[in-house]
Amino acid sequence: MWYGVPTIVARFLGYLMNMALPFLFEKPSVTADITQVYAMIPFLNVLFTYGMETAYFRFSQDKDKHHLYNTLSVSLFISSLAFTALLFFSRGTIAAAAGLEAHPEYITWMCGILLFDTLATLPFAKLRQENRPRRYAFVRISGILINLLIVLFFVGVLPAYISNHPDSPLRLFQRFDIGIGWYLVGNLLGSIATFAMLAPEWKELNWEFDSKLFREVMHYSYPLVIVGFGGMVNDVLSRLIYQHVVDLPAEQAKHELGIFANVYRLAVMMSILIQAFRMAAEPYFFNQSKQEGAQKSYARVMKFFVLACCFMFLFIGLYLDVLEWIITVKSDAWAEGMYIVPILAMGNIFLGIYYNLSIWYKLTGRNMYGAYITIAGAVLTIVLNILLIPRLHYLGAALATFACYLLMMVISYVMGQKYYPVPYARKKLISYLVLVSLVYAFHRLVLYFYSPLWFSVLTGTLLLAGFAMFVAKVEKKELSKIPLLSKFV
């Protein structure tokens, strides 16, 4: 809970900031350039960190933790400076390739974000490994809050204030007329503040480097880099290439990219849950691996994880009309493409299950198999995006995401049962996923005949409560073991 809740809060604050876009900008096309930048950052983040976080958790089990932390930190520090310098001096070429010629400064700010986020990676991992969740939560949430406040002030509050108070000294800020660019500036300042708050962890660092240990770590982590790149292809490629493959005029392509990025953010509510789970689960899985009955523990974790995802899926799907009503306050254009949100949400469930399943190759040292699985998903993503986006536009992009994560989940399960069998309740989990899909479909069918917002909320709430009662009955024995839930069950 200590790791999950702050992660959810931090991601949700960032999520709110992104969801503020429909309230701040009338035209979705305005957000296309910033979408391009935030599609590049995850790719580059994989390169900058090159699997050091997972490697730190893995090798801290049987190596001297302080010596390991020193070696990996020195490596990450030097490589981050080198990669940042390379990006900075190539910013003109990158801006031209991404269609950002009008805003090359976006690439400069992106370089700073990548540098400081990378330098914070191992200090955060150290806090998690040492079970210091309160400090972890404070630093993580503080950085996001700084980012959020800067963006909301300069994009949401200041323009209206200066309009009503033209003689205010704050009008000097109008010289920095960077519009949506404040999202990147706020992110950069938040990243710098986060790095500064982690200074005590950096002060503990001794500047030593063990080349033998580093080679051993890199042998373990380089497949994770391939996995990371493949994962980013699967996650953000559709937004990165959308304007370049859809057969539309430039302005219309930007409009559709803005719409697609917005509906993708709605589905990201699912990924907030997945990210929170990963933050707590990865150290737990490694620590539990040497305990008797570890596989049974993993199976139970999977079941509760899938149940949590099912409830999140229903929350998104059954209250989709409420979300649409909220984001169309400024312009109805933002509601386009809402029908693909459940497809993306279910695809993200498959991704979360895949992350859960992936423990088999991390524990058995077969990380290359993870790379192969991710590459297979990436190839499918590339092919489907190129084939489907020109024909189906953002529906094609959503179907590509869905198919990719489904494929990765199935392959990982089959291979995992061969090399590291875990007694997952396969039939029950599939049944839950099918059931929530049918509940959502039934809700949309009912709304086809009668669709006022109040009726949508009422029927959605009844269906959600019905599913909760069904789960409570089926999982009564399991849920009764949980102190907070036992009395309700």
For 339-437, strand residue ranges (E) read none
The verdict on residue 175 lying in a domain is yes
- The region of weakest confidence among 89-93, 242-246, 268-272, 426-430 is 268-272
Q: Are residues 203 and 312 in the same domain?
A: no
Domain boundary among 209, 244, 276: 209
Same domain as 290, residue 163: no
Nearest Cα to 213, choosing from 18, 325, 73, 313?
73
- 35 plus 156 within the same structural domain: yes
Write out pLDDT tens, residues 463-474.
999 999 999 888
Domain span at residue 416? 220-477
Domain count, the chain: 2
Which of 183, 209, 235 is the last residue before a domain boundary?
Answer: 209
Hey, what amino acid is at 409? M
Query: Rounded CA gap, 152 and 260, in Å?
Result: 23
In this structure, the answer to whether residues 106 and 237 fall within a common structural domain is no
Q: How far apart are CA 278 and CA 283, in angstroms?
A: 9
Higher-confidence position of 489 and 239: 239
Q: Is position 288 within any domain?
A: yes
Nearest to 116 by CA among 199, 177, 230: 199
Same domain, 202 and 224: no
Q: What's the pLDDT score for residue 155? A: 80
In a domain, 174, yes or no: yes
Same domain, 123 and 174: yes
**pTM for the full predicted model:** 0.76
Residues 59 and 104 in one domain: yes
- Structure-block tokens of residue 488: 């309700």
Q: Residue 319 falls within a domain, yes or no? A: yes
Please write the tens of the pLDDT for every residue from 158-217: 877 777 877 777 777 666 667 788 888 998 999 999 999 998 888 888 888 888 888 888
The answer to whether 215 and 164 have CB atoms below 8 angstroms apart is no
pLDDT above 80 (res 446): yes
Q: Are residues 145 and 114 located together in one domain of the fold?
A: yes
Whether 193 and 142 share a structural domain: yes
Residue 215 lies in a domain: no
Residues shown for the chain: 489
SS3 of residue 164 by DSSP: helix
- Interval 33-66: pLDDT, tens: 888 888 888 888 888 988 888 888 888 877 888 8
- Residue 315 resides in a domain: yes
- Are residues 319 and 384 located together in one domain of the fold? yes
Residue that is last in its domain, among 187, 209, 231: 209
Same domain as 13, residue 104: yes
Please check whether residue 486 lies inside any domain of the structure: no
Domain match, 458 and 322 both: yes
Q: Give a yes or no: residue 343 inside a domain.
A: yes
